[in-house]
Structure 1
Amino acid sequence: MSAAPRKKLPIGIQAFDKLREGGYYYVDKTPQLHRLVVQGGYYFLSRPRRFGKSLLLDTLRCLFEGREALFEGLYIHDKWDWQVRHPVIRLSFADGVMQNREQLDERIRDQLFQHRERLGVPLRRETDIAGEFSALIRGTHEKYGQRVVVLVDEYDKPILDNLLEPERARELREGLKNLYSVLKDADPHLAFVLLTGVSKFSKVSLFSGLNNLNDVTLDAPYATICGYTDDDIDTVFAPELPGLERSQIKHWYNG
């Protein structure tokens, strides 16, 4: 039996389509995603940096947008209704450092504007960000006739970047709280929501009112939703292992 061919290592790849079309190794995370989506609702997931959270969200985006070809050969392929497509709004705070509320608001407005353009949802500029976000979700649902999927990457980064400046961190927290507060009242227009980040802020401080947010950070069924297991290394990455000492690999990754 011939050895499996070597592929490219997916270092720093955050785009699911690039990974699937570019000949990279991919550990199939769609069993966990299928379970998450079938249960439906509002989810929160905390994982360390560089753990594949952005790729996870991009995989969900491609799934909800119905990009079937990317999922051929994966667990979820024959379990998903590819005829149903949901519009996706993805917000990310991963890039750059914001040092005040004005910079945060500008980043949010810019992303909301880009989604309006992409989705073709004509909306008047509301006086506040919560109003703009709410109107975008509502208008998208009306236009596409399908409930909206909202994905948030690094939901907490603006706060974490300013932890040594408590006043500034508090100001940025209030700005994010204002944004996330929209999700509760938008419930009739939402199909699925997932927020990811590094830290685990209490629901009271940042998700006030969003009491249906299901924290799956430590839930056993989702333990492997990001990152690699020993078994993944032995199977998916098997072509890379010859000549490498397993204990040495563990040492590289701090055990």
Structure 2
Amino acid sequence: MVETNDRKLPVGIQSFEEIRKGGYLYVDKTDIIWQLANRGKKYNYLSRPRRFGKSVLVDTLEAYFMGKKELFEGLKIMQMETEWVKRPVIRLDMSRAGAEPESLKGYLDYTFQEYESLYEIETRGNSPLATRLIEIIKTAYNKTGLQVAILIDEYDSPLQHSWKTPLYEKCTAIYRDVFVILKSMDKFENFIFITGCTKFSQFSLTSGLNNLSFIGFDSEYAALCGITKEEAICYFKPEINKLAACKGWTFDEAAMHLSSYYGGYHFSSRNKVDVFNPFCLINALADSDLENYWFSSGTSPLLSKFEDDIKKRLKDFEYCPIISDTLETSDVTDGGAELVLYQLGYLTIKGYMDGIYLLGFPNSEVKKSLYETILPVLTSEAEQ
């Protein structure tokens, strides 16, 4: 827990319930969340870089679908939601599934057992995982009379780790076998929401859902994850003032330095809203300092697999054109360095014209991390 001016900042906290019950500062996105859940599409995939608040978003959706009205008191959604239906929810966090077929199957088996216990389904350990998931969805629907919300967080985590290894085909086979049933369960499902950093379409979860909408470039969701400049000023004025005092800056200078170091993300050609990485911004305001928080929290295993291409094209990444269809629809395994760097958050949208996106570094923290820290580390590892 970090306290700033007697205000509690949610450093590292991914539980919406803990944030609300613990009195932590919460940047209210619930109006956009309500629109997504009630006016959006039924099958959704949102890609955002690591540490961008995807898990908090999934947790908030879970609380909403479970009808936990008390957690939303005082938030924008209270002006929009009137029924607060307590809907059955099936949630999977694939970041807990490891990188090997056995750990992936083990995680799904354990999680399915929890839902089988909840809905009093006789566990059949020898039954295929897909059969068990079908039974869970049907039973949840039959026992409640309500369609099920299915939330899958960090779907690509096992695939990022296993790609370009002998384990990848086995992992994708599990995805294909288990999750292809979601399409056939349509009448039992109310809403499906999937998050990840990258897009692995071939042989993976998304290949079985050809009706899945990729909403990562939609203008209405450009600020669904992350914190806008306006939100930073509105919600964190005392913390920005404290940073300014510590550094000998004016308020405006502190805001400018924060934006230069942690902001600069854009996710839509039609909505140019400037977005901060929330993990970095909140840590910086908690510490009243500007540190390299994003790199310090880890890197994607995909970077090492594109190392040669990245090093050859370093000078290209300041202003990097890419065809819109390539950026918006291509599988990360079929693209080049610019595609993987965009999906991982090292590049962002700088402009758009006539079907061409212009990519570049979002901010100085990311640029410095890639040039001074990440690539030297990858090179050192490759030489060992």
Tell me by how many angstroms 1:212 deviates. 1.6
What is the identity, as a one-letter code, of the residue corresponding to 1:123?
Answer: E
Residues 98 and 104, structure 2, Cα contact 8 Å, conserved in 1: no
% identical aligned pairs: 36
What is the distance in 2 between the residues matched to 1:221 and 1:29?
A: 12
Q: Which moved more, 1:185-194 or 1:31-40?
A: 31-40
What is the distance in 2 between the residues matched to 1:47 and 1:196?
A: 8
**SS of residue paired to 1:76:** helix
Match for residue 258 of structure 2 among 230, 249, 255: 249
Tell me by how many angstroms 1:96 deviates. 6.1
Residues 123 and 135, structure 1, Cα contact 8 Å, conserved in 2: no
What is the distance in 1 between the residues matched to 2:163 and 2:58?
A: 26
1:81: which partner in 2? 82
Tell me by how many angstroms 1:21 deviates. 1.4
**SS of residue paired to 1:241:** helix
2:57: which partner in 1? 56
1:222: which partner in 2? 221
- For residues 190-233 of structure 1, the C-alpha deviation after alignment (integer angstroms, 9 at most, x for no partner) is 01100101102236654234222111011010011111111111
Alignment of 1:194-209 (within 5 A): 194-202=193-201, 205-209=204-208
**SS of residue paired to 1:90:** strand
Tell me by how many angstroms 1:103 deviates. 1.9
2:167: which partner in 1? 168
Tell me by how many angstroms 1:251 deviates. 4.3
1:127: which partner in 2? 127
Tell me by how many angstroms 1:80 deviates. 1.4
Residues 159 and 170, structure 1, Cα contact 8 Å, conserved in 2: no
Residues 28 and 76, structure 2, Cα contact 8 Å, conserved in 1: yes
2:370: which partner in 1? none
Tell me by how many angstroms 1:82 deviates. 3.6
2:233: which partner in 1? 234
Q: Which moved more, 1:30-39 or 1:62-71?
A: 30-39
Residues 41 and 191, structure 1, Cα contact 8 Å, conserved in 2: yes
Tell me by how many angstroms 1:46 deviates. 0.5
Long gaps (5+) in structure 2: 245-253, 263-362, 365-384
1:107: which partner in 2? 107
How many pairs were matched up? Answer: 249
Residues 69 and 84, structure 2, Cα contact 8 Å, conserved in 1: no
What is the distance in 1 between the residues matched to 2:33 and 2:129?
A: 30
Tell me by how many angstroms 1:130 deviates. 0.5
Q: Greater share of helix residues, 1 or 2?
A: 2
What is the distance in 1 between the residues matched to 2:182 and 2:97?
A: 25
**SS of residue paired to 1:161:** helix
Tell me by how many angstroms 1:97 deviates. 2.8
Residues 7 and 24, structure 1, Cα contact 8 Å, conserved in 2: yes
What is the distance in 2 between the residues matched to 1:48 and 1:138?
A: 34
What is the identity, as a one-letter code, of the residue corresponding to 1:32?
Answer: I
What is the distance in 1 between the residues matched to 2:108 and 2:153?
A: 13
What is the distance in 1 between the residues matched to 2:204 and 2:60?
A: 29
Residues 20 and 26, structure 1, Cα contact 8 Å, conserved in 2: yes
Residues 176 and 203, structure 2, Cα contact 8 Å, conserved in 1: no
What is the distance in 1 between the residues matched to 2:206 and 2:51?
A: 24
- For residues 152-194 of structure 1, the C-alpha deviation after alignment (integer angstroms, 9 at most, x for no partner) is 01111001012241x3112111111222211101111101100
Tell me by how many angstroms 1:56 deviates. 0.3
Residues 148 and 191, structure 1, Cα contact 8 Å, conserved in 2: yes
2:37: which partner in 1? 37
- For residues 18-41 of structure 1, the C-alpha deviation after alignment (integer angstroms, 9 at most, x for no partner) is 101112111111111111111240
Structure number with bigger Rg: 2
Tell me by how many angstroms 1:124 deviates. 4.0
Residues 65 and 88, structure 1, Cα contact 8 Å, conserved in 2: yes
TM-score, with normalisation over the residues of structure 2? 0.61
Residues 121 and 136, structure 1, Cα contact 8 Å, conserved in 2: no
What is the identity, as a one-letter code, of the residue corresponding to 1:228?
Answer: I
Residues 17 and 71, structure 2, Cα contact 8 Å, conserved in 1: yes
Tell me by how many angstroms 1:81 deviates. 3.3
Tell me by how many angstroms 1:249 deviates. 1.9
Tell me by how many angstroms 1:250 deviates. 2.9
**SS of residue paired to 1:208:** helix
Q: Which protein, 1 or 2, shows the higher relative CO under an 8 Å CA cutoff with sep ≥ 6?
A: 1
TM-score, with normalisation over the residues of structure 1? 0.91
